[in-house]
Amino acid sequence: MKKYDVVIIGAGLGGLQCAYILAKHGMKVCVLEQNRLIGGCIQTFVRKNTKFDTGFHYIGGLDEGQPLNRIFKYFGLMDLPWQKLDPDGFDQIIYRNKSYMLVNGYDRFCDKMSEYFPGSAAELKTYTEFLRGVGEGIFDSFDRDPEQNLSGDTLFGKNAYQYLTSTITDPVLQNVLSGTSAKLHLDKQRLPLYTFAQINSSFIQSAYRIRGGGMQIAEKLARSITDMGGEVVAGAKVTNLLEADGRISTVEIEGREPVETKYIISNIHPAATLRLAQETSFVKKIYRKRISSLENTFGMFTANIKLKPGALEYLNRNVYIHETDDIWDEGSQTAAENPRCALVSYTVPDDQGRYAQNVDLLTPMLWSDVEQFQDSTLGHRPQQYIEMKQKKAEQLIALADKYIKGFANAVEAVYTSTPLTYRDYTATENGSAFGIIKDYDRLMYTLLTPKTPIPNLWLTGQNLNLHGILGVSMTSFFSCGEILGQRPSSNMFNI
């Protein structure tokens, strides 16, 4: 039986980053991924010689000296083919038939928004300075214990919607500032202010896509892990965690020999993690019930579209379309309704030419819309499900065509996915896009730390405190710090 210092369950971004950190510290690590492809939500797939991303579309804060740049340098990821989005309009918000460009740089962002809303210039300065403070202080969290985030005194303990509406009085401007809603689950009653501010701040700093697909991130990390003596094993589904002498000592794998380990990090949903440890004496029923009852964010319906050659110009920005009065309520739409919002995300052309080769359309989708099909398997879905997806794709294309001239005529082929697809390919609970819903008023209940009741089992990934590439990356350091016996520091990225 093989023996490791650390076994990591799930080869998504967080799992691979944890393996990299621990291997860099000389530990013998093994990452086990149940699917045939690593990467989780940053994996790519190919249809008719066209490469599509599953969940990776763009990232923020990648310019020199910015948070994600410093982190990605640590992981050796800055030599990938990053492409900066247009700093004079990295995101376009279409709301009430008017267009608003979001620009990079805090001062420039404030000035541009003030041009659109001159009567709100003073409020915008207050709002932008707040975002600047959050962005520039992102690594301060490394200098305090993660459990301090559970205090109501932090920005995690304040309501995002209340802050926005008390700072910005113009309802139209409130919606425009919330217009990049496909990056997070907007919730008036629960969303913590820090989540809203950190995500919006990082993209104001800078915004980037990657040419060739997000899978390159996972592949680069996996190669580095292997070079440092670690292992990354795909097609290895963990089925059981066995306890001995007060610790989880054995990891059982479907169709493979079990492995022994000193420590375990789980990059899958906490509820799924606990289902692997049914026989442990450490996890009480009340804890299992608490974790299993946590509500997850909505998922996404995605139409991955292959375009006709030379039919649609590439846009070096994202387009967010909103045909609703209140953007904060868009996540409640059901599949029975026409989509009222969409993110139009262009893929960087392989030839970096004028015309786009493919584009993704995304809109929120609830698990309840696909729950009736949850017992079906990939390639064997009911006709009703297939027809629902086709109709939804047609509606999304029609929505995009209203604002992007010639869009519908440029479509050559369409491939669709729902939260059910994400559940089956990436093992995300209920196909959730952003993990567990965090509630500013119930932080002790919904904001998780890496620790579990099992002494040598820790968690990582988007379900803990922050989602997104930056949030998952930072969480990986906290998770590894538990094993290494050292807290991450704010100066660790001065490399």
Q: Tell me, yes or no, whether 404 and 300 share the same domain.
A: yes
Please report whether residue 55 resides in a domain.
no
Partners of 415 in the beta sheet?
304
DSSP state of 430: G
What pLDDT shows up at residue 100?
A: 98
Is residue 435 classed as helix, strand or coil in its secondary structure?
Answer: coil
End-to-end CA distance of the chain: 39
Range of the domain at 421: 83-205+296-431
Please report whether residue 70 resides in a domain.
no
Nearest in space to 32 (alpha carbons), one of 236, 270, 240: 236
Please report whether residue 397 resides in a domain.
yes
DSSP 379-406: TB--HHHHHHHHHHHHHHHHHHHTTSTT
Choose the final residue of a domain: 431, 449, 470.
Answer: 431
Q: Tell me, yes or no, whether 235 and 97 share the same domain.
A: no
- CATH number for position 39: 3.50.50.60
Is residue 213 classed as helix, strand or coil in its secondary structure?
Answer: coil
What pLDDT shows up at residue 140?
A: 76
Please report whether residue 151 resides in a domain.
yes
Would you say 283 and 354 are in contact if contact means Cβ atoms under 8 Å apart? Answer: no
| Other C-beta atoms lying within 10 Å of the C-beta of residue 322 | 21
Q: Tell me, yes or no, whether 253 and 323 share the same domain.
A: no
Whole-angstrom distance, CA of residue 95 vs CA of residue 279: 52
DSSP state of 317: S
DSSP state of 460: -
Question: Tokens at residue 183, please?
Answer: 């990056």
DSSP 328-355: GGGGG--TTSPP-EEEEEEPPPTT--SB
Whole-angstrom distance, CA of residue 143 vs CA of residue 487: 8
Please report whether residue 66 resides in a domain.
no
Please report whether residue 316 resides in a domain.
yes
Whole-angstrom distance, CA of residue 400 vs CA of residue 411: 11
What pLDDT shows up at residue 495?
A: 41
Q: Tell me, yes or no, whether 325 and 404 share the same domain.
A: yes
Let me know if 140 is exposed, middle or buried by CB neighbors in 10 A (0-12, 13-18, 19+): exposed
Would you say 18 and 26 are in contact if contact means Cβ atoms under 8 Å apart? Answer: no
Question: Tokens at residue 491, please?
Answer: 């100066």
Domain count, the chain: 2
Q: Tell me, yes or no, whether 186 and 316 share the same domain.
A: yes
Q: Tell me, yes or no, whether 267 and 331 share the same domain.
A: no
Q: Tell me, yes or no, whether 303 and 331 share the same domain.
A: yes
Q: Tell me, yes or no, whether 166 and 98 share the same domain.
A: yes
- Helical (H) or strand (E) element with 52: strand 50-53
Angle (nearest 5°) at CA 142 between 140 and 148 = 85
Nearest in space to 465 (alpha carbons), one of 486, 441, 434: 434
pTM summary value:
0.95
Q: Tell me, yes or no, whether 311 and 175 share the same domain.
A: yes
Whole-angstrom distance, CA of residue 198 vs CA of residue 183: 11
Please report whether residue 108 resides in a domain.
yes
Contacts of 157 (CB under 8 A, 6+ apart): 151, 192, 440, 441, 443
Choose the final residue of a domain: 415, 431, 447.
Answer: 431
Would you say 191 and 161 are in contact if contact means Cβ atoms under 8 Å apart? Answer: yes
Whole-angstrom distance, CA of residue 42 vs CA of residue 469: 9
- Helical (H) or strand (E) element with 232: strand 231-233
- CATH number for position 424: 3.90.660
Q: Tell me, yes or no, whether 200 and 323 share the same domain.
A: yes
Residue type, 87: P
Please report whether residue 56 resides in a domain.
no
Q: Tell me, yes or no, whether 228 and 290 share the same domain.
A: yes
Q: Tell me, yes or no, whether 184 and 290 share the same domain.
A: no
Whole-angstrom distance, CA of residue 185 vs CA of residue 192: 11
Per-residue pLDDT of the chain (495 residues; tens, 9 = 90+): 899 999 999 999 999 999 999 999 999 999 999 999 999 989 998 888 888 998 899 999 999 999 999 999 999 999 999 999 999 999 999 999 999 999 999 999 999 999 999 999 999 999 999 999 999 988 877 666 656 655 556 889 999 999 999 999 999 999 999 999 889 999 999 999 999 999 999 999 999 999 999 999 999 999 999 999 999 999 999 999 999 888 899 999 999 999 999 999 999 999 999 999 988 889 999 999 999 999 999 999 999 999 999 999 999 999 999 999 999 999 888 877 899 999 999 999 988 889 999 999 999 999 999 999 999 988 899 999 999 999 999 999 999 999 999 999 999 999 999 999 999 887 788 999 999 999 999 988 899 999 999 999 999 999 998 889 999 999 999 999 999 988 776 666 554
